Every structure is written in structure tokens, then in C-alpha cells.
Amino acid sequence: MNNQINLDNLTPGSKAVITGIKGASPFKKRLLEMGLVKGETMEKVKLAPLSDPAEYIVTGYHVTLRREEAKDVMVETMTNDEIRMTNQ
Amino acid sequence: MTNNQILKPRIFVKTSFNEPKKITIALAGNPNAGKTTIFNNLTGANQHVGNYGGVTVETKEGSLRFGEYLIQVVDLPGTYSLTAYSIEEIVARDFIIHEQPDVIVDIVDGSNLERNLYLTMQIRELGAPLVVALNMADEMKKKGISVDLDKMSQDLGAAVIPTVGTRKKGMKRLLDAIIEVVTGQRQKPDAPAIRYGEDIDAELDKIAQPITDFSEKLRREDAPLKQHLCLSTSPQWVALKLLENDKEVLRVLADGEARMLVQQQVEISRKHLTAIFGEEPEIVIAEQRYGYVRGICREVVSRTAEARMDLSARIDRVLTNRLLGLPIFAILMYLTFYLVFSVGEIPMGWIESGIGFVLQKIELLWPAGRAEFLQSLICEGVIAGVGNVIVFLPNIMLLFMAITLLEDTGYMARAAFIMDRLMKWVGLHGKSFIPMLTGFGCTVPAIMGTRVLDNRRDRLTTMMVLPLMSCGARFPIYALIIPAFFAERYRATAMYAIYLIGIALAIVVARLLRSTLFKGEASPFVMELPPYRIPTGRAILIHTWQRSRMYLRKAGTIILALSIVMWFLTSYPTMPPEKQQEYAAAELAEAQVGYSFAGRIGHAMEPALEPLGFDWKIGTALVGAFAAKEVFVAQLGIVYAIEDTDALDEGLTDADKSSALSSEEKSELATLRGHLQASYSPLVGFCIMLFCLIATPCMATVAVTRREAGGWRWALLQFGGLTAVAYVITLLVYQVGTVLQIGI
């Protein structure tokens, strides 16, 4: 039922759980340090006026990622039930 | 705190009564955690910006008296981590390691605990004495977050003090906790901060072993603590960093047999762990650290209310809206420049009349015929020269105030978010936008502003093209030339055109550099969008002042020295009297300038400048422009032998807004324009502007580029490159214009 997608394909306004990050070590570590850790929930807020980058919420703060960077973040989309669970 | 002093018997602690005990504390924390606010609270106006040990990142310092202590406070750059990812991180880490402050105060944004505690754990791992300020306690309340302070303090092994930086709450308790650590009332925990699990811990021990042996040997030899990383930190920390593949630590690790042993072991361990986890150890370690932090958060945080959509998110619905975002951004930029150029004119007028007044008084009071050269030096060299720079201070301060306002409210991050797509196309980073904007005021602080960029290639590229943002000092050149050669209705367009040419060139040059010299992958745009905040008036004043100081310092040092040099070059050698007779009275002044050093330099440059349509007079003025762009106009005035050059400047900087000018002053200005019109074609006028826009960044820019980029190489590349581009473009424009008979 659950869908594995890349973060850049997430529709704005929806949430997903991080399942892994691809890419070279320094970049990957940077994302980790900014809170993009396996198991965290990410919400895509919106795209910038010129369609790139995009704004996300992770561990309670807002962060920006370009499309090519979001491509390296694998997420699992959440069903409405699961979103309700995390909100509680 | 006064109690303490009173209770101390004078006889026993005489020294401490008279001389306060000095301690140093360092403020660390994530960007946007409210570090600067707390720093301002603690030190007030008693602070200065200093550069830390040769590297180009600033650490701000201030001090305060607290009881019997004189506390030196160092504001470290805001970082998310203490790895070697950016210069800021290296600086923060090196300061903690090498300067060994008595206490590290970690400012933690309570409304965003997880990410903030990640840094806290790294400070703990360093083994530094720590006090945690749990900041933004008010926002936590609003968000319905409550924290078990005792539990948190236990988990972190450090005192946790709730603070509200913006309302100065908790400062006294914070200081008390700092003193407790200093006086040893609070024991430093010995246990390692985090256990990384059996596999990693086993490898850590293996790496740490030879380092421990080595450090014991060093201790026996009484080696200086600060020179050896394993002594100033701990073998365990060095081992951890090495396992994390930290290039900086590897670089400074002491030479000798230990290094070989250690390096071999690190390689084996990294391979081993990568095989086990299927990922590099640094990733696993970072994840573990986060896991540990999440564990703490689960234990100590309880949410008492449902989080609702916060105000910032609602503001962003408008400000970064897909349709409205760009227009609002454009309006804000327009307002910024409107503020700078129209409101700035008012105090500019005051400064001009002030300088004029001083000059007049000197002339009046100076004993006639006595030490005329000294009078000339003071009036034409010092006052006029430095006055030329000071006159732009209102403009520049207003621009910096606007930038501070945009930055302190949190809009600047949104601007970078909105502009990133465009900046990326240029080959730059969204964050490059901030120094670019500063560049319209003064290139010097703009180049220092490139420190916000993590990636060195981004940073160098931005520095190289920054002089193409037409700085405030170039404005008077345009203001002189445009009315002389352009009909009234074209003037505004000509002014826009010259600014736009600069921007367009910056784009071309940046793209070129990014695809050749600074080739490489774009750095990731992982940037925090901090919540909007209303900055305090005091913070805005302090930050505006800190930026403006650099400009003033330039006026006080480089420009002052160069004004005197330029004055000397244009005044000497004086023509011998027998030669003076060869000239008619009207031509004498001009001939004298031609005879001077500056005139000779101009003459020497003439063959090279001729293809651009320039003569030796412009050449002489260009020499002045290298000192500081604004000198160009004054220099041209001297060359054209207009007696009262000071009045001339005043007229020019006012861009002909006639109000402040007397009719005499206006005529001075008109005279220079008349001279220009008579001597040059409009095409040459345009070429002068073009050349001044592109060529030879001023001396201060060259100096600051050398310092910031870390080498003459880059400063000379910037200087030579831009001058070459200017020459080629001006040459093309002049030659093509001549052939096509445009503007002749």
C-alpha cells in the first residue's frame, strides 16, 4: 500500500517518512545534520515561485531543498490514517 | 552579586577585590537560535568585531562585569554541527579546542530541540565545560512544548537554564550557572557523551589506543597543551573525528610514528565498519547521535497542546507565494533603493555643508601666506579626500540598515529561497544574493558578506563579480557624466542602463568562471527558513553600525592615506617659474597639473588609453579612481583646474538637486561639465562611465579580497581580470561607435 518515492515527487501539502538518503558522504551527512534522518516525517510545504527549490518541514522547522537534492532523499508516502496518527 | 563583594574580606582576597577575576566564555549555537540577541544582552554596546586567528570568519567579542568576575564573551559563528563542513564550523571548533574558554554556553532554540541538541552533543563530546541556555522559552509555551529541566540537565550533563533572549529573561540565572561551573561547584561529567554501539565503540578504542600512548609520551615530555590536538581535547575525541573522516583533524594530527599507526588503523576500521553497516561510518555515527538526541527529546519533552499553524507559516503564505512572491520581492528591493537614494540625500546635504563650513573656516582663520602647502594639504588633501567618502555614509548606512532589517526579520532567507533558481542559473547560490545587494552600497562589506556561502567555489565566484555591482562611490561619476552628455529625458534611462550593464556583466562573468576556473558541482541549497521575528531597535542599530564601521574604517585609513598621496602627486613637482611664463594665465593651472607626477602618469598612460577615446586627463583621474572611485570626479576637477574643487564635489554628489547649492557652486559644476562637453563626444562620456563601472576595483576592495580569498592570487585575478574586461569592452564600444558614427 505504501509508496516508495523520491522526495522531489512528493506533492506539495503532503507528508512522507524518510527511508534513506543516497548520494556522496559529505552531502548526505549535511542533510543528516539538518535533521533529515531515517524515520523522520517530512512535509512538503510549497515550491518557490520559480518552481525550484521547495520548502519542507522536518523536526519542526522549515528547510529548503533544490529538486536535484530532494531526488536523493527516499521517502514513503503516508496514508491519511498515518498522518492522523502522527498528529496526535 | 553585590552581596558577594561585600562579604569578601578585603585582606584575604585583596587582588580579587581590586582586580576582577577574568574568565572567558564562548557562545555557541545553531544559526537563528537567538545567539546574537543573548550576546547583545550580556555585553550591551561593549563589544567589538574581531577576526579570529588569521581565518576570515569573524568572532564578536564583548565583556561584562558580574560580581567579582570580568567575563569576556566570545560570540562564535552559528553552526549546525562541529564537523569541518564550512569555515564557520572549523572556526567555532578551533576556538573551543585551542582557546579553551572557561565555559561554553550553548544557546539552544527550545522550539526546535532535536536539531539544536545535535550540536550540543558534539560540544559535550569535545569534553568542554558546558552550560545550556534553553532559549525562546516563550515560543515553546506558545507551541505547547514543556521540558523537564532536571531530566534534561541530567541527560546532557550540564546545567539547563531557560531564557527568553528577546526579553532579557534568565540572564542572571545563566551567569550564575556559568560561575558555578568556573568555581567547580558543578562537576564536569566524565562518562563519554554517547555510546555508539559495540561495533563502533570497539573500533574507536582501537584507534584511540595509539593516540593515548602518544599523548602520554607527550605529557611526560611536558609538551605544550595547545600544540597537540590529543592533549587539548582527548584521544577519544580525536579517534571519533578520524573515524568520521574529518580531514581537518587528520591534517593537524601530530607527525611522527603515531600518525602512521593511527592512519593505518583508521583505514582498517573504516573499511570494516562500512562492510558491517553498508554505509560510511560518519553517516552511521551521525544517525546514532541523532538517535540519542531523539531519545533525550522523547524523555524530557511533553506536548501539552496541539501545534497550530504558526504565524510565520501564515506570513509565508503571502511572502513566498508562488504568484505574489516575486512581485513582493521586487517591491521590497525597490523600496530599499528608494530609501537609500532619496531619503539618504537629506543627511548627505548636512554633511556636505558641514565639510564646506569647516573648509571655509580654515581658509578664513589661516594666517595668510603662512605655510601654504600645509593649508593645501589639510584642505585639498585630507578634508576634501576623506569628506568625499564620509559624504556617502548616510546612503551606505541606510542600505545596511535596510539589509539588517531584511536579515533580522528573517526575510533575507526567503529572498534567497525566491532567487535561488535564478542565481543557480547564473552559477551562484541563493545566498550569494545577500552580498550582491550589499555590493550596491560598498564592495568591501559585500566581500566580507560572502562568508555566508559554505562552498569555496561559490564564494570565490561571488567575490570576483561583486565589484560589478555599481557601488555608491561610482554614483557621482555617473552623476557628473550623464547630465553632460545626455538630454534630460534620457538621463534616468542612462543611469538604469549603466547599473543593468553591471548586473548583466556579473552574470556573464560568473557563468564563465563557474564553467572554467571554478568548475564543480553546485553546493546544496539546504537552508533553514527561520521563523519571522520582530527585531529590537537596538539590535538593528548595533548590526547596522557593525557593517558601516568597515566603510568608515576604509575612509579613516586607506582613503586618508591615498588622498594625501594623490594630493602630493597632483601638486608636485611645481613648475619652475621660468617655465610658468610660457603659459597664458588661463592655461597655467592646467599646465601645472600636466607637469605634476599625476599628470606625467596620465601622459604615460595616454597611448594605451587612446584607443578607448581617453586622453591623459582622464588617465590621471583614473589613477585617482583606483584609490577610491569617488576620487575620480575630484581628480578630474583638479586636472581641469577648477579652483574650488570642494564646491564641485558637493554639487556633484547632490546630483544637481539644486536646493542645497549656491549659484556659485552650481556654476563650478557647470564649468566642469562644460569642459567635458567641449573636450569629449557623448560616446567618450559613455565610455568613461563604462570603464569606471567595470575596471579596477578600488584599493580597499583589492585588499579585502586578498584577505578574504586567502591570497594575492585571487585579488590580482579580480583586479587584472576586471580591468582587462573593461578595456576590451570599452575598446569595442568606442571603436564600433566611432565607425557607426554614434554619439560623436
pLDDT tens per residue, range B265-307: 999 999 999 999 988 899 999 999 998 999 999 999 987 765 5
Decide if B439 contacts B466 (C-beta within 8 A): yes
The answer on pLDDT for B98 being more than 60 is: yes
The DSSP 8-state label assigned to residue B324 in this structure reads T
Q: Which of B687, B690, B653 is nearest to B669 (CA)?
A: B653
Phi/psi for A45 (5° steps) reads: -85, -55
Q: Residues B651-665: what's their mean pLDDT?
A: 45
pLDDT at residue B106 above 80?
A: yes
Nearest CA among B11, B133, B18, B129 for reference residue B68: B18
The per-residue DSSP string of B543-566 comes to HHHHHHHHHHHHIIIIIHHHHHHH
Q: Which cell numbers in the block locate residue B717?
A: 585575478
**Scanning every residue of chain B, which has its alpha carbon at the shortest distance from the alpha carbon of A48?**
B418
CB B415 within 8 A of CB B331: no
The Cα–Cα gap between B102 and B119 comes to 19
pTM over 0.95, yes/no: no
In this structure, are residues B502 and B470 in contact, taking their beta carbons and an 8 Å threshold?
yes
CA–CA separation, B94 and B113 (whole Å): 25
Mean pLDDT rounded to a whole number for chain B = 82
Of B85, B115, B118, the CB nearest to A26: B85
Q: Is the pLDDT of residue B328 over 90?
A: yes
CA dihedral B6, B7, B12, B16 (to 10 degrees): -50
pLDDT tens per residue, range B619-642: 888 887 877 787 788 778 777 765
Round to whole Å and give the CA distance between B28 and B76.
6
Q: For residues B443-449, give the mean pLDDT.
A: 83
Using a CB-CB distance cutoff of 8 angstroms, which residues of chain A are in contact with residue B313?
45, 62
Q: What is the pLDDT of residue A75?
A: 94
Cell numbers standing for residue B402: 535596510
Residues 6+ apart with CB under 8 A from B560: B382, B385, B386
Q: Is the pLDDT of residue B713 over 50?
A: yes
Lookup result for grid cell 560589478: B468
Cis link prior to A53 (omega < 30° from 0)? yes
- CA proximity to B240, closest of B274, B293, B193, B272: B193
Q: What is the mean pLDDT of residues B151-157?
A: 90
CB pairs under 8 A between A and B: 116
Residue B553 corresponds to which amino acid? R
Task: Report how far residue B214's alpha carbon sits from residue B233's, in angstroms, rounded to the nearest whole number.
Answer: 14
Cβ–Cβ contact A84 with B under 8 A: no
| pLDDT classification of B13: cutoffs 50, 70, 90 | very low
Are the Cβ atoms of A59 and B80 closer than 8 angstroms? no
Tell which residue, B340, B566, B346, has the closest CA to residue B471.
B340
Residue B72 near residue B63 (C-beta atoms within 8 A): yes
Number of H helices, E strands in chain A: 3, 6
Nearest CA-CA partner of B639 in B659, B619, B612, B661: B619
Q: Report residue B8's pLDDT band, with 50, 70 and 90 as the boundaries.
A: very low
pLDDT band at B667 (very low <50, low <70, confident <90, very high): low
pLDDT in tens, B681-691: 999 999 999 99
Average pLDDT value for residue range B50-61? 54
Q: Tell me the three cell numbers of residue B121.
A: 552533543
What pLDDT, on the 0 to 100 scale, is given for residue B650? Answer: 47
User: Count H helices, E strands: chain B?
Assistant: 38, 10
Alpha-carbon gap: B122 to the closest alpha carbon of chain A (Å): 11
- Give dist(CA B590, CA B607) in Å, integer: 20
- Residues B541, B548: Cα–Cα separation, whole Å: 10
Calculate how close chain B gets to A13, using CA atoms only, in Å.
12
A37 interface with B at CB cutoff 8 Å: yes
